[in-house]
Amino acid sequence: MTRLLVECTHVFKHPKVNSGIQRVVRNVINRLPPEADGVECLPVVLLKGRLHRVTRLAALDSPLLNAVATFGERLERLAHRFWQSHQRLDGQVRSRLARRLLYVGYRLASFGAFGLPLRLIERINRHHLPKRCTPLQHRPGDQLVLLDSSWHSDFFPQAERLKRDGVGIVAVIYDLIPLTHPQFYDTRLVEVFGQWFDWIARTADGYLAISATVRDQVHDELRRRIGTTQADRRWFDYFHLGSELDLHTAGDVVEPQLERLFGAAGPVFLMVSTLEPRKNHGYLLDAFELAWAAGSSARLCIAGRVGWKCDALLERIRRHPELNRRLFMFNDLSDTSLEFAYARSAALVFPSFVEGFGLPLVEAMQRGLPAMGSDIAVFREIGGEFMAYFDLQAPQSLAGQVLAFERSGEFPAPRPVTDWRWIGWREASAQLAQRTARNVLEAPQAQAGAHAHCP
């Protein structure tokens, strides 16, 4: 009997992280239907090499226990890196005496710095873990759906054991950007992501992307890596993401500076994303500087946590003569404050070089906020004729749209955003479950293990 085991290990361990993928995982899991096309759907995590069914994704209402759990996770990662360093050094040392001393030092450090604290933390965790999950026995025919950001996980050997026991593997793909645009990321992430994709290329039975654009990219990449014959034995599909801000509650307080920003006269253009090179904030600043020079009174509000490779951007913003006049930046807005900003902005601006989906576009447009975005395929897929698109090679293209909208009051899209419709997270979760179940049930059973060990 087939079951969909939808994996959410990283979010289970870090339930308060609220960036893109974590938001997707949390919302899909919290609205996961009990069944799809007669197939039971269960949220699961892989902990200590074992499957557990999730009964509570949110953290417990105990700051002390949550702090202990977080410290334990960090210590485990540190211990793993320490072991990897030891393995590298051991392979480089030629002297038997030096290798012996290295081994003794490793054992002492492992026992004192990692072993004892981790055993104590495990005992503490053992008491509260049953309040959030229970052990689950896998069955042949089950499908492990890797919904979470599994590229930085260490459960691949466990997943492979499940596969040998007859469990199918389904990989959810958010994008291939570390492969296609490695210049936007740190070298280590590019390496980790590449290793992960090699693993799912060999191991997964099916691939579920978050847009048709990414689905086609994944299919092409699989054909390139493992050949058309092997790739065509897999299935490829996609689902779309929802739009609600689930951590928004009526009683929460809006950031005071944000309230003051929207309380003043003049239109506000909102940019929502992590500060990182791919999001192209430099182009945004260039465009608004051109608009300001041409007499625009528009204000630009940048909302998003600080990411990577953005030191020069942060310095430019902090030294900008329009900072806190016509340029504003918020790096830690709550969902309540973000909802407030979406409701009061004139438009969303999104100049990203490349995306797998573009969640802020959906969040904005579903609330009736028109969006201006870079002219890339996935934005066309999502926004269609309801968005305005600008040329990434010419900041004047966006500046001109801002000026024209400000002066005429007519948004430069062929169709009004009020006519645009999108799904919510409940429908998104149902799409994921239904499309996965359909593909699994329709896939020829003879192919189930045919590629488990393909080169």
Span 102-119, mean pLDDT? 66
Residues 209 and 297 in one domain: no
- Cα angle at 88 between 82 and 94, to 5 degrees? 130
**Gap between the Cα atoms of 113 and 306, Å rounded:** 32
Residue 71 is assigned to a structural domain of this protein: no
- Residue 115, number of CB atoms within 10 A of its CB: 14
Residues 188 and 279 in one domain: no
Residues 353 and 415 in one domain: yes
- Cα angle at 306 between 305 and 311, to 5 degrees? 160
Residues 443 and 347 in one domain: no
Length of the chain: 455
Total number of domains in the chain: 2
- Residue 162, number of CB atoms within 10 A of its CB: 20
Domain, as residue range, for 345: 256-419
Burial class (CB in 10 A: 0-12, 13-18, 19+), 271: buried
Least reliable range by pLDDT among 1-15, 24-38, 53-67, 388-402: 53-67
Domain of residue 30, CATH code: 3.40.50
Residue 103 is assigned to a structural domain of this protein: no
Span 433-446, mean pLDDT? 82
Residue 248 is assigned to a structural domain of this protein: no
Tens digits of per-residue pLDDT, 299-356?
999 999 998 899 999 999 999 999 999 999 999 888 899 999 999 999 999 999 999 9
Residues 46 and 171 in one domain: yes
**Phi, psi dihedrals of residue 347, rounded to the nearest 5°:** -165, 155
pLDDT in the model for residue 112: 64
Residues 352 and 278 in one domain: yes
Is the per-residue pLDDT at 126 higher than 60? no
Q: Taking the mean position of all CA atoms in its chain, how far away is CA 183?
A: 19
Distances (CA, A) of 295 to 258, 327, 339, 390, 399: 24, 15, 29, 20, 11
Tokens at residue 277, please?
Answer: 């090179």
Distances (CA, A) of 425 to 243, 260, 420: 6, 31, 17
Residue 379 is assigned to a structural domain of this protein: yes
Tokens at residue 195, please?
Answer: 């290793």
Residues 6+ apart with CB under 8 A from 2: 39, 141, 142, 143, 437, 440, 441
Residue holding tokens 């053992």? 126
**Gap between the Cα atoms of 283 and 114, Å rounded:** 46
**Gap between the Cα atoms of 119 and 105, Å rounded:** 20
CB-CB contact of 436 with 145 (8 Å)? yes
Residues 213 and 355 in one domain: no
Residues paired with residue 170 on neighbouring β-strands, in sequence order = 145, 206
Residues 294 and 413 in one domain: yes
**Gap between the Cα atoms of 335 and 303, Å rounded:** 11
Residue 381 is assigned to a structural domain of this protein: yes
Distances (CA, A) of 67 to 55, 63, 125, 236: 20, 6, 11, 40
Kindly tell me the sign of the dihedral angle through the C-alpha atoms of 25, 27, 31, 37.
negative
Tens digits of per-residue pLDDT, 227-278?
999 999 999 999 999 987 766 566 678 999 999 999 998 999 999 999 999 9
Residues 364 and 340 in one domain: yes
Kindly tell me the sign of the dihedral angle through the C-alpha atoms of 172, 177, 178, 184.
negative
Distances (CA, A) of 390 to 347, 368, 400: 14, 20, 9
Residues 186 and 143 in one domain: yes
Residue 125 is assigned to a structural domain of this protein: no
Domain of residue 313, CATH code: 3.40.50.2000
Residues 228 and 341 in one domain: no
pLDDT classification of 105: cutoffs 50, 70, 90: confident
Tens digits of per-residue pLDDT, 171-200?
999 999 999 999 999 888 899 899 999 999
Tokens at residue 451, please?
Answer: 């590629």
Residue 100 is assigned to a structural domain of this protein: no
Q: 444: helix, coil or strand?
A: coil
Residue 317 is assigned to a structural domain of this protein: yes
Q: Which of 164, 162, 231 is nearest to 202 (CA)?
A: 231
Residues 21 and 146 in one domain: yes
**Gap between the Cα atoms of 276 and 303, Å rounded:** 12
